[in-house]
Amino acid sequence: MITFENVSVTYAGAARPTLRDVSFTLPEGDLCLVVGTTGSGKSTLLGAMNGLVPHFTGGTLQGRVVVGGRDTARYRPRDLADVVGYVGQDPLRGFVTDTVEDEIAYGMEQLGVDPVAMRKRVEETLDVMGIADLRRRPLIELSGGQQQRVAIASVLAAHPKVLVLDEPTSALDPTAAQDVLSAISTLVHEVGLTVVLAEHRLERVMHAADSMIWLPGDGTAQLGSPAAVLSSADVTPPLAALARTLSWAEVPLSVREARRKVQALGLSLAAPATEPAAASDDQPALTARDVEVRYGEISAVRGVDLDLHGGDVTALLGRNGSGKSSLLWALQGALSCAGEIRVGAADPRKLSAADARRVVTLVPQTAADLLYLPSVAAECEQADRESSAEAGTARAILRRLGADVADDHDPRDLSEGQRLALVLAIQLTARPQVLLLDEPTRGLDYQSKAQLHGIIDALAASGVAVLISTHDVEFAALASRKLLLMADGEVIASGSTSDLLTSSPAYAPQMAKVFAPVPVLTPQDVAKGLA
């Protein structure tokens, strides 16, 4: 279906080729996962399948890409629209119209399909993707998962044979991701499409993949079965890390497979030593009592009590819309709310923005919102000025965080992980006692997440209280000691991470599910338990 013959791609002005001599053939009807760390060329590979590289993005393409019998050298992306459907990273940015039905019809209008056939296809597509009840809704009112499904529906309407998706589930919570993935599975198994998918959070998709392409980062690509590729790739979802720890030749792709293998091998694991609860006789760094946030008539957060102690890392889990973001903004003092919030002696809501920042600081979901200056150096200097710190503090923090970016880089050109590090450095210049992170792991690969874990550990060691809101259960298991579960605006459970995560089958990380009932959370715990 898709053939790459000795393909090399070099962008204008780049020192090295992004893809070097890539050759593979994807059979029809496969669900193929493209994996690799950030910057390894995944987007370029996907763009080459569609013709966007080089016709849209520019650059030089050597070799041949043939998709569905068409050579992308002779066909521009618009000519390939009836063979390849491409869905980019943020679906909301790709929407041209403002209602669901118009968006689905748009592609067909471009292809000149006659109106009767258009009506029929729109109805079919709405049914296949399960969004028929959304047909007249405005697109900006939809949730992330619904938007993603509408984006897929809008390219499906042209009846392509291949579907190319760039990180479809990175911004979604587990339920929405599940919806999207099951829709994709239906397309592969029922409709017979070939789907190529780039994803960071592999643990959700691995079991459905038929083949995997790994991009090591030097420009080459390896195609193989997922189990074989993962055993040698530098991308390590928990099951791959488990396989490496236990020296298995092939990586189990699902929890069930791993569990059966573990039971077949008769492995027994010592439960990890429960750490003694940290001496909580010292004053909590932040206390919140009965916090309530209202938006007009809707109450987003109700009656929340929490304590954050210095040196502790707490994770806040909950689905999208449960009020996590509102709670974090309220704790920072940026959102008006009822209830009592105290950091030390001060109430952050009553302080000025500059003072509140020195006490409680928040890194928002879209970290790039904070950046507006033309270079990294300018941002660091501005951060020093804003926090009344001496010159060079921000730069030093940035270097300590491990992201050594050149001074003259434009912050917009940085990768996700580097941008997050820059924003962290800017916010930490104020030396706050409490750090709040809102969904920091969005768009980060496993290596960056490990680095973030290191940064958070170092911060906790220096006495800062950290609260991370996330729906990445694996990261929460890795980085936090305490856990808060939030639903419908209320905190429904709080306790230590290992207790809460292992007690619920839905929220358990994969290691816990594999080794149940032993309360292990991460592959590192498994390694310790075996030794």
Partner 1 sequence: MTNVRSLNAPTDDFAPERDPRSRIIGSGSPIREQSSSRASTGRVSAALIVAMVVGAVAFSWPLFLSHTSAMSAAQAPIVFAVVLPLVLAVVLTELTGGRMDAKALAMLGVLAAVGTILRPLSAGTAGFELIFFLMILAGRVFGPGFGFALGSITLFTSALITSGVGPWLPFQMLSAGFVGLFAGLLPKASGRIEIGLLAAYGMVSAFAYGWLMDFSFWPFAIGDGTQLSFNPDASPLENLHRFVLFNLATSMGWNLGRALTNAVLITLLGVPLLRLLRRAARQANFVPVSLGSTLAE
Partner 2 sequence: MVAEGTAPLTSLHPWAWWCWAIGIGLAVSGTTNPLLLALIATAMVVVVMLRRSSAPWARSVRAYLLLSLFVIGMRVLFQVLIGGGTGETVLFTLPEIPLPEWAAGIRLGGAVTLEGLIFTLYDALRLAVMLLCIGAANALANPRQALRSVPAALYEASVAVVIALSVAPQLIESAQRVRKARWLRGDAGTGLRALGAIALPVLADAIERSMSLAAGMESRGFARTQGLPVKRTLPVMLLSVMVATLGAFLLLSTTLWELAVTLLIVGLVGTGFGLRAAGTRLQVTRYRPHPWGWRATGVAASGLLAAAVVMGTGWLDPTGGGLWPSTDPLEWPELTAPMLLAIAFVLAPLPLTIPRRFAAVSSVRTDVRVRGLRAVSRS
Q: Which of residues 351-410 bind partner 1 (CB under 8 A)?
A: 374
Q: Which is nearer to partner 1, 374 or 495 (CB)?
A: 374
Q: 102, 123, 257, 488: which one contacts partner 2 (CB under 8 A)?
A: 102
352 binds partner 2 (CB under 8 A): yes
426 binds partner 2 (CB under 8 A): yes
Query: In the range 24-63, which residues lie near partner 2 by CB under 8 A?
Result: 50, 52, 55-56
Pick what 59 binds: partner 2, partner 1, none; C-beta below 5 to 8 Å, kind-dependent: partner 1
Pick what 81 binds: partner 1, partner 2, none; C-beta below 5 to 8 Å, kind-dependent: partner 2
393 binds partner 2 (CB under 8 A): no
**Helix, strand or coil for residue 303?**
strand
End-to-end CA distance of the chain: 47
Window 427-456: contact mask with partner 2 (x via CB under 8 A): x--x--------------------------
97 binds partner 2 (CB under 8 A): yes
Distance CA 82, CA 68 (A): 10
Alpha-carbon separation of residue 58 from 15, 48, 53 (angstroms): 15, 11, 7
Tokens of 347: 């109430």
Strand arrangement of the beta sheet that strand 482-487 belongs to: 360-363, 434-438, 465-470, 313-317, 482-487, 490-496
Q: Which is nearer to partner 2, 78 or 399 (CB)?
A: 78
Query: In the range 236-295, which residues lie near partner 2 by CB under 8 A?
Result: none
Q: Count CA within 13 A, CB hemisphere, residue 136.
A: 0
Pick what 305 binds: partner 2, partner 1, none; C-beta below 5 to 8 Å, kind-dependent: none
Q: Which of 483, 16, 448, 446 is nearest to 235 (CA)?
A: 446
Question: At closest approach, how far in Å is the CB of 73 from partner 1?
Answer: 5
Q: Which of 256, 239, 157, 170 is nearest to 203 (CA)?
A: 239
Q: Residue 530 carries which DSSP code?
A: H
Under 8 Å between Cβ of 445 and 414: no
Residues in the chain, how many?
531
Distance CA 269, CA 441 (A): 30
Distance CA 482, CA 378 (A): 37
Window 51-90: contact mask with partner 1 (x via CB under 8 A): --xxxxxxxxxxxx------x-xxxx--x-----------
Pick what 25 binds: partner 1, partner 2, none; C-beta below 5 to 8 Å, kind-dependent: none
Candidate ranges 26-34, 49-57, 131-139, 479-487; the one touching partner 1 (CB under 8 A):
49-57
DSSP 324-364: HHHHHHHHHT-S--EEEEEETTB-TTTS-HHHHHHHEEEE-
92 binds partner 2 (CB under 8 A): yes
Q: Residue 304 carries which DSSP code?
A: E
Neighbouring CB atoms inside 10 A of 413's CB total 10
Pick what 119 binds: partner 1, partner 2, none; C-beta below 5 to 8 Å, kind-dependent: partner 2
Pick what 357 binds: partner 1, partner 2, none; C-beta below 5 to 8 Å, kind-dependent: partner 2
106 binds partner 1 (CB under 8 A): no
Site size toward partner 1 (CB under 8 A) is 22
Candidate ranges 8-16, 252-260, 369-377, 501-509; the one touching partner 2 (CB under 8 A):
369-377
Alpha-carbon separation of residue 428 from 375, 441, 456 (angstroms): 19, 18, 12
Q: Which is nearer to partner 2, 57 or 494 (CB)?
A: 57
Q: Which residues here bind partner 1, judged by CB under 8 A?
A: 5-6, 12, 53-64, 71, 73-76, 79, 374
